[in-house]
Structure 1
């Protein structure tokens, strides 16, 4: 087999003035947070709400907390963003007393978890008397529509702005991958296959357990594989769902809508991951111990999994789920599965 990088020309990484990630094979990331903050503030600065009943403006952003990033792997762009936003608005009725009212618009979770059309948008008015209530009702309709349009503009411009320079020139003798723009996948929830025909056992119930052992090869560096299981944005990319992850000793994790949970026991970057791991359908309080040894070879990375304490009746399902929801999903998301001789 060829030496590291020789078999697949997309692995060739050479020094050059624009970047080192030739052929877009490695995971690269850009922080889109500061740009996003400026763009969102710009989109909501003194914006008129179109209605025949009142003169209303969204005046400014009062609160903006969160993060955004753009990531490239194998010519695919993965965008991650999550924002908690409060906007200010003011206005008056055209047939009212010429009194000006003010209020807030709260958007607690602008992210890939929610499509813009499904955003939780909360409207409030400071003085909710008869006129104030009318203005609030107008904002609940026309104001919400405007907010959704502005956020759609932000998402489109985020992807347009951070696509620039993320996909680098390909070598002339390499057929480029088709470039795709995908999201982190919050709207594509994965439901792991449930265990059927089994009653949930109470905590402390004695069960028969077994050990699972697997060895797999991945076309990536050891550090890239380690990052794919310990960096939130990368875990989100291959699990296609919301993730809770604390990659430190004693830190907890939750994946696949809470179907998988546990905590980290040992983390050695690029070398080893040890964690307590359980499937939601297992007997209450029962955890297995997962040890992942990561060994970088000359032309690939070999990963050995040992999982001790798997309920015997669920060993096959657990094996299948590792393959389907971890290894195959990681290869698809990051291109870790391509080998050339």
Structure 2
């Protein structure tokens, strides 16, 4: 029996009459400018260095001009970005004297290596000289460079921290309690760089399912319709389909006890340039919880991101 993730890749086609971009054979591009702007601010604001002379901290990113995009061609992700950044920092000497300064990064670009980013640290006009300036130019600039390197590494096409598995236990009254039976509900949240419409379609279009599972599949995209994925290792039935919003299904591993199904609910939320996917699993056998969680993360979410350019890793 085939394992998850294994299968005959010969279903991949170079061109399709219906223009479906299976496995990103054609070039696709996704704008991540807004995400980048927020991420850069998150990485820089609050960054601090300290010595015997005092403490310095970046207080704001006053300018973030530029753009960023993720491009996909045949499953290969390329991150393009170009930014001109300006930030403000404050310093407090060991004697309590306050100072203000500026930071300029004019060439944060994919054309430059991280070590080649220009990081200029200065004091504001009319500020008196202070040894804190040297602290920021050395240790501060080093921390800034590491933060910018982090931005390059954790873009939405390859951030492993984007997805978080949240465990919940509920009884019929809605109270959270520790349960040891298979009625426990597990919730997983993940973000995809695509629209709810497109992500919803990925789960219901048979050829797209075969694309991200890289194996044979049967999908009847209707209420009461059956599905079999990964050469029969996963099967079930669609219980509810709300276009672009929700999919509810009976779902099971082939190795589970006969006729034992979990109820899986997929909820799609539009977040502008992104779609948040909430995955709720109820009724998973207790000894299968870790396997089921890992399977959904690796062979659904991760595989969909890699195949269709919605982000190669979980975030």
TM-score scaled by length of structure 1: 0.43
Normalised to the residue count of structure 2, the TM-score between the two structures is 0.46
| Larger RCO (CA under 8 A, 6+ residues apart) | 2
